[in-house]
Amino acid sequence: GWIPILVYLIAFTVNLLFVIISGPNMGGDSGRYYGYADTLLSGDSVEASMLLLYGGYIGVVSLAKIITGDVGNYLWLIIIFQATLSASIPVMLYFSGRIIKPDSNPYIMAGLSLFLGVGCYDHLLWTRYILTDSIFVTLMVLVMYSIVRGIYTGAWWTAFVIGILVFPFRPLSQLVFVLVAIAWIWWFI
């Protein structure tokens, strides 16, 4: 229906305004991602450990540089991509709540989802940084939604697929596989 679309549009607007006001921000690892993206784009080899642990984000930075022609606008493209992606967090919270309690008031659920998804300072904070955090958090919420969906509908394949997608954005994503496995075993028991 229209409620998830409205939730997404509100979250996206808040994200984008926050990013426009604050501008792209650099973190301690931002330079490392740029350096590895430049190395990758120049055709040189990148350490296998970096590709395995952060290859997803290095790929995002590389793709942004390819699209913009490496003219500095790639920073804004990355930030807009992160704001667009992370605006889906409240929508996933909304869908999770509707799966758990289908007879709940959809307007109250939408308000709670926006409060939890957009009102979370960490969510806004990391969206404006050129770091893996906002993409990782978004993918983790998607994994949680997939686990909820798996528990209530039996559709587990998405949790495993999303769990695999999380891996190249953060080294600690190995915990996702443990979490999905525990939830899957619990469902079968």
DSSP H stretches of helix in the chain: 2-22, 30-41, 48-68, 74-86, 89-100, 106-118, 121-127, 133-153, 157-166, 174-188
Measured CA to CA, the distance from residue 51 to residue 45 in angstroms comes to 10
Q: Residue 146 pLDDT more than 70?
A: yes
Q: Residue 105 pLDDT more than 70?
A: yes
Quickly count: other Cβ atoms within 10 Å of residue 151's Cβ: 17
At CA 57, angle to CA 40 and CA 26, rounded to 5?
100
At CA 108, angle to CA 9 and CA 124, rounded to 5?
45
Lowest-confidence segment of 37-41, 125-129, 156-160 by average pLDDT: 156-160
What the block records as the tokens of 37 is 């993206």
Q: So what's the pLDDT on residue 171?
A: 67
Using pLDDT thresholds of 50, 70 and 90, give the confidence band for residue 173.
low
Q: Residue 101 pLDDT more than 90?
A: yes
Closest CA to 134 of 121, 143, 125: 125
Quickly count: other Cβ atoms within 10 Å of residue 73's Cβ: 13
For 113, half-sphere exposure in the C-beta direction (CA atoms, 13 angstrom radius) is: 30
